[in-house]
């Protein structure tokens, strides 16, 4: 599969990359400004970053794409398993 084909397919589920980036970065910046951010472990921070990325895809793309929702629960489970 060519890269352009793959990007076309992903665009249908993930939405416009620029919009996704704007949503994701805005949410990440907000999270990192919170006082408790510095107290989180690297695993917790990374999971939150990934969850926000998935939320951005939901908001910019296809909210009915099941994988987005499954991925959010998966990242939360990775943290839970380490607590």
Q: Residue 11: what pLDDT?
A: 87
Confidence of residue 48 (pLDDT cuts 50, 70, 90): very high
Confidence of residue 10 (pLDDT cuts 50, 70, 90): confident
The domain of 11 spans: 3-82
* Total domains present in the chain: 1
Compute the Cα dihedral for 37, 21, 52, 74 and give only its sign.
negative
- Burial environment of residue 76 by CB neighbours within 10 A (0 to 12, 13 to 18, 19 or more): middle
């Amino acid at each position: 599969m060519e890269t352009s084909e793959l990007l076309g397919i992903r665009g249908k589920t993930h939405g416009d990359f620029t919009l996704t980036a704007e949503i994701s970065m805005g949410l990440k910046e907000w999270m990192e400004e919170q006082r408790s951010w510095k107290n989180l472990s690297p695993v917790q921070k990374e999971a939150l970053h990934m969850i926000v990325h998935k939320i951005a895809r939901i908001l910019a793309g296809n909210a009915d794409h099941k994988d987005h929702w499954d991925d959010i629960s998966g990242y939360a489970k990775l943290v839970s398993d380490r607590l």
